Amino acid sequence: MNTGIPLEYFLILASVMFFVGIYGFLTRRNLITILMSVELVLNSVNINFLAFNKYLFPDQFQGQFFGLIIIAVAAAEAAVAIAIIINIYRHFTTINVEDVDQMKF
């Protein structure tokens, strides 16, 4: 199907997306955009799993299964994190991470 594309291209794409996500995670202040950066990181890992599945064991499913599990975990994580964010907003009326400093001393 895609015999023309080397495996390295997929790996480089995934690592660039991973570090864009890391950069967003470190520099944004809004909790929701921090969560979106985490989703970017999870997706780049998913691309890696699928690429290795396609290039090493094209007749088996291990990589695709891991991708499916990662999508499920990401959905659960987003639900719980958004519940926490709404609670933080109720308590502090802001979701700026620098203003939420009650556990910092």
- Identify residues 25-84 at the interface with other proteins (CB under 8 A): 26-30, 32-33, 35-37, 39-40, 43, 46-47, 50-51, 53-56, 58-59, 61, 64-65, 67-69, 71-80, 82-84
- Beta carbon nearer to other proteins, 87 or 105: 87
Closest listed residue to residue 87, CA positions, set 102, 72, 73: 102
Q: How far is the CB of 105 from other proteins (least distance, A)?
A: 21
Q: For residues 87 and 49, what is the distance between their CA atoms, to the nearest angstrom?
A: 34
Spell 36-55 as b/e; 16+ CB within 10 A means b: ebbebbbbbebbbbebbbbe
Q: For residues 39 and 51, what is the distance between their CA atoms, to the nearest angstrom?
A: 19
Q: How far is the CB of 87 from other proteins (least distance, A)?
A: 6
Q: How far is the CB of 26 from other proteins (least distance, A)?
A: 4
- Beta carbon nearer to other proteins, 79 or 105: 79
